[in-house]
Structure 1
Amino acid sequence: MTTGLTVLVPCFNEGAQVEVAHGALVEALKEIGELEILFVDDGSTDDSLDRIRRLAETDPRVRYLSFTRNFGIDAVMAAGFGYAAQPWVVQCDADLQVPPEEIWSLLDKAAEGYDVVFGRRVGRRDPLIRKAGSAGLHWAARRVFGIGMPRGASTFRLVRTGVARTITDLRLPWFIPAVPLVGARYAVTPVTHRPRTAGRSKLRLVKLVAHAFELYFGFSRRPLTAVYAAGALGVVLAVAAALTGAGPIPLLLAPLLTAATLAALAVVARYLDGLLRDSSRVRRYYVRSANLPLRPEDTLTAGLPSPPPPSRAT
């Protein structure tokens, strides 16, 4: 039975960091015989793909997928987990804020019988606003929305490949809360964290807020329940006002009621939008180039060859 490891490295405009990450991973994991380093290029516009291709020419352990455009980290995970050749996958960012040596901490913990091991970043070296935002997001998920979030879990994680594919096939917006949702055995173990040495984070405030909404509305029905409760309360108050002969709604309350109505409609619309996207036939990603066999449905040309168009006969 093979006990190899696939290292999934998401890439978006990483430039020279591609070679840096490759060298560090190879050095840290040289004791693993069946090692695969799978770069997933999320539609980079710099020379990241060229650098990955050069590495693949000299190192047979390097495989890559390159998307037709930027599809986002969820698509990267779906592709990486779907094409991983080894029975275990560890997700490791190219910026190496978590040293590759810490992969052994995850592997040692998984040997105790876990399907998923998350790294908990000790002494996290991100900007204060980023750390506070992340902590607040996870606190609200657990306390306000009732979502099962493993405490301290991060994107630095080791997953049994079969379990990873089961979760990504569900097309849920977040991976972390999906792990306890399906009943996978998981653990969280501390790992060191260091400042970014190259480039900058690709996540911006707007994306972080959007990601939070994906979490809350994707895993909790509490906002919808609150709308139902508010509607029921409104009916009770209206009936009570009619029976007691109370006068019309005070002028100052009218704008508040209008705002509450619009907010309720927005919540319902958000859930409907999620249902429509789940039923969409558009795939999570399309691959433009790769150095591994692709499923036809994952390519833009449905697996057909791409010859040039016919020209005039000479």
Structure 2
Amino acid sequence: MTGLTVLVPCFNEGAQVEVAHRELVAALSELDELEILFVDDGSTDDSLDRIRRLSEADQRVHYLSFTRNFGIDAVMAAGFRYASQPWTVQCDADLQVPPEEIWTLLAKAAEGYDVVFGERRNRRDPLVRRLGSAGLHWAARRVFRIDMPRGASTFRVVRTGVARTITELRLPWFIPAVPLVGARYTSTPVSHRERTAGRSKLRLGRLAGHSFELFFGFSLRPLNAVYAVAALGAATALVLAVLGEGPLVDGAQLVVSGLTLAALALVGRYLHRLTRDTRRLPAYYVREADVPVRPEDLLDAARTSEVPAR
């Protein structure tokens, strides 16, 4: 391992920017080749100003700033694309996993893995969040038959080249994409602690939407269920035709109608994903950066700066 990029997603993390920088530098001071890459996901507080000052004072700090909030998937895509070192570790600005645990991931990666996930011991998140996460992983593996690495979290170290390959596929989740492409991966226990400042930016609605992206993006089981519902509906319709009218028949017809609407909604979800992926809209646009950015990633590739005057 000749060098490491620490990818730090930021969305309104102003209070944490300097804290994260200070603890990361202290923990990784032994590394000769260290880059700390902040990706500002359209913050509306002073996060970007604080990051700018850090980049001016410390040549190891670089940053990208999006034109708006594009989400964590876009942050990862940009971070892995512009990481300058052969290995990248993703570390949230809230520092709930102590930066010293990065060495735990690196030691495991040295055994020959492409990806090492940090499995959080004694997780300090709220109970609802922990139960929701456990339920999500259980449903993904048991119900939808998705290959989800056990114990996987966003605290992970990845070969930068492998991470680029995965994110360029534009799949809705990074974790199940790791076994999908055949990368060598494992998990290792890491400690976990309370947030040192601020609060989580993930809300219930966003978590639910992200869960649907996982289920419908990596599994055809819901679609197979639609086929079963259609077959059941056809059989029921045939029985109703034979029985004729009556209260029981009316109730059965109502159930069949409800199942049909649910099936149509599910098919519509898959069609929505198909049309969205076909359009291939950019995952993000960069407004500002202190590293060279590809023209296609800029909102204004021409970099015009002056307004014509009389």
> Into which bin does the TM-score normalised by the smaller protein fall?
over 0.9
User: Following the alignment from structure 2 to structure 1, what is the Cα–Cα distance between the partners of residues 277 and 120?
Assistant: 33
User: Following the alignment from structure 1 to structure 2, what is the Cα–Cα distance between the partners of residues 251 and 265?
Assistant: 21
The one-letter code matched in structure 2 to 1:3 is T
Cα shift readout 1:104-159 (whole Å, capped 9, x = no counterpart) = 00000000000000000000001101000000000000000000001110000000
Matched ranges for 1:58-69 at <5 A:
58-69=57-68
User: Following the alignment from structure 1 to structure 2, what is the Cα–Cα distance between the partners of residues 159 and 137?
Assistant: 23
SS at match of 1:277: helix
Matched ranges for 1:231-270 at <5 A:
231-240=230-239, 242=241, 245-248=242-245, 250-270=249-269
Q: Which residue of 2 aligns with 1:199?
A: 198
User: Following the alignment from structure 1 to structure 2, what is the Cα–Cα distance between the partners of residues 254 and 23?
Assistant: 65
1:282 Cα offset (Å): 2.2
The one-letter code matched in structure 2 to 1:306 is T
User: Following the alignment from structure 1 to structure 2, what is the Cα–Cα distance between the partners of residues 206 and 133?
Assistant: 12
Q: Please list every run of 5 or more consecutive structure 1 residues that lacks an aligned counterpart in the other structure.
A: none
Percent identity of equivalent pairs: 73
Matched ranges for 1:146-225 at <5 A:
146-225=145-224
Cα shift readout 1:154-180 (whole Å, capped 9, x = no counterpart) = 000000001000100110000000001
User: Following the alignment from structure 2 to structure 1, what is the Cα–Cα distance between the partners of residues 280 and 169?
Assistant: 15
Q: Which residue of 2 aligns with 1:19?
A: 18
The one-letter code matched in structure 1 to 2:244 is G
SS at match of 1:189: strand
Q: Please list every run of 5 or more consecutive structure 2 residues that lacks an aligned counterpart in the other structure.
A: none
Q: Which residue of 2 aligns with 1:129?
A: 128
The one-letter code matched in structure 1 to 2:76 is M
Cα shift readout 1:78-108 (whole Å, capped 9, x = no counterpart) = 0000000000000000000000000000000
1:241 Cα offset (Å): 5.1
Root-mean-square deviation over aligned CA pairs: 1.2
User: Following the alignment from structure 2 to structure 1, what is the Cα–Cα distance between the partners of residues 307 and 193?
Assistant: 51
Q: Which residue of 2 aligns with 1:33?
A: 32
Matched ranges for 1:231-310 at <5 A:
231-240=230-239, 242=241, 245-248=242-245, 250-302=249-301, 304-310=302-308
User: How many residue pairs get matched?
Assistant: 308
Is 1:95 the counterpart of 2:65? The answer is no
User: Following the alignment from structure 2 to structure 1, what is the Cα–Cα distance between the partners of residues 198 and 256?
Assistant: 47
> Normalising by structure 1, what TM-score?
0.96
User: Following the alignment from structure 1 to structure 2, what is the Cα–Cα distance between the partners of residues 199 and 147?
Assistant: 33
Q: Which residue of 2 aligns with 1:118?
A: 117
SS at match of 2:249: coil
The one-letter code matched in structure 2 to 1:211 is H
User: Following the alignment from structure 1 to structure 2, what is the Cα–Cα distance between the partners of residues 267 and 279?
Assistant: 19
User: Following the alignment from structure 1 to structure 2, what is the Cα–Cα distance between the partners of residues 7 and 210?
Assistant: 27
> Normalising by structure 2, what TM-score?
0.97
1:275 Cα offset (Å): 0.7
User: Following the alignment from structure 1 to structure 2, what is the Cα–Cα distance between the partners of residues 145 and 12?
Assistant: 31
1:246 Cα offset (Å): 2.0
